[in-house]
Chain A
Amino acid sequence: MPVPAPYHLALSALLFTLGMVGVLVRRSVLVVFMSIELMLNAVNLTLVTFARARGSLDGQLLVFFILVVAAVEVVIGLAIIVDLFRSRQTVDIDEVDLLRG
Chain B
Amino acid sequence: MDAVLFGIVTCLALAGGTGVIASRRPVYSALSLLVVLGSLAVDYLLLDAPFIAVLQVIIYAGAIVVLFVFIIMLLHAQSGEDPQGRAVLPAPLGGALCAAFGLVMLVTVTRSAGQPAPVGAGFGTVEAVGRALFSGFLLPFEAASVVLLIGMIGAVALGRRLPPGGER
Find out whether the CB atom of A24 lies under 8 angstroms from the CB atom of B97: yes
Say whether B106 contacts A14, CB under 8 Å: yes
Query: Scoring B residues 103 to 140 as 1 if CB is less than 8 Å from chain A, else 0, what string do you get?
Result: 00110011111111111000110001100110011001
Q: Would you list 23 pairs from A and B whose C-beta atoms are within 8 A, ordered by A residue?
A: A6-B110, A17-B98, A17-B105, A22-B20, A22-B21, A27-B85, A30-B29, A38-B21, A45-B40, A52-B116, A52-B123, A55-B116, A60-B52, A61-B136, A64-B129, A64-B133, A68-B144, A70-B59, A71-B63, A74-B64, A76-B154, A82-B74, A82-B159
Residues in B whose Cβ lies below 8 Å from that of A45: 40, 43-44
Q: Mark B131-160, 1 if CB is under 8 A from A, else 0.
A: 011001100100010011011101100110
Question: Do residues B67 and A68 form an inter-chain contact, with CB atoms below 8 A?
Answer: no
Chain A CB within 10 Å, residue with most, of B56, B113, B124: B113
Chain A at the B interface: mostly helix, strand, loop or mixed?
A: helix
Q: Are A52 and B94 in contact (CB under 8 A)?
A: no
- Given the contacts A25-B21, A41-B40, A65-B140, A30 and B26 also touching, CB distance less than 8 Å: yes
Contact at B67–A78, with CB atoms within 8 Å? yes
Which chain B residues in 18-75 approach chain A with CB under 8 Å?
18, 20-21, 23, 26, 29-30, 33, 36-37, 40, 43-44, 46-49, 51-52, 55-56, 59-60, 63-64, 67-68, 71-72, 74-75
- In whole angstroms, what is the CA distance A61 to B74 when docked? 35
The answer to whether A27 touches B87, judged by C-beta atoms less than 8 angstroms apart, is yes
What 1/0 flags go to A37-72 for Cβ under 8 Å of B? 110010011101111111111101101110111111
A28 near B80: Cβ-Cβ < 8 Å: yes
| Chain B residues near A72 (CB-CB < 8 A) | 147-148, 150-151
Does A96 interact with chain B (Cβ within 8 Å)?
A: no
Known: A2-B2, A15-B14, A86-B162. 5 other contacts (CB 8 A): A13-B110, A14-B17, A27-B85, A71-B59, A79-B155
In the complex, which of the residues B33, B74, B132 contacts A34, with contact meaning CB atoms closer than 8 Å?
B33
Which chain B residues border A6 with CB–CB below 8 Å? 110-111, 113
Q: How far is the CB of A63 from chain B (nearest CB, A)?
A: 5
In the bound complex, do residue B14 and residue A18 qualify as a contact, i.e. CB atoms below 8 Å apart? yes
Q: Are A53 and B152 in contact (CB under 8 A)?
A: no
Q: Are A24 and B88 in touch, CB under 8 angstroms? A: yes
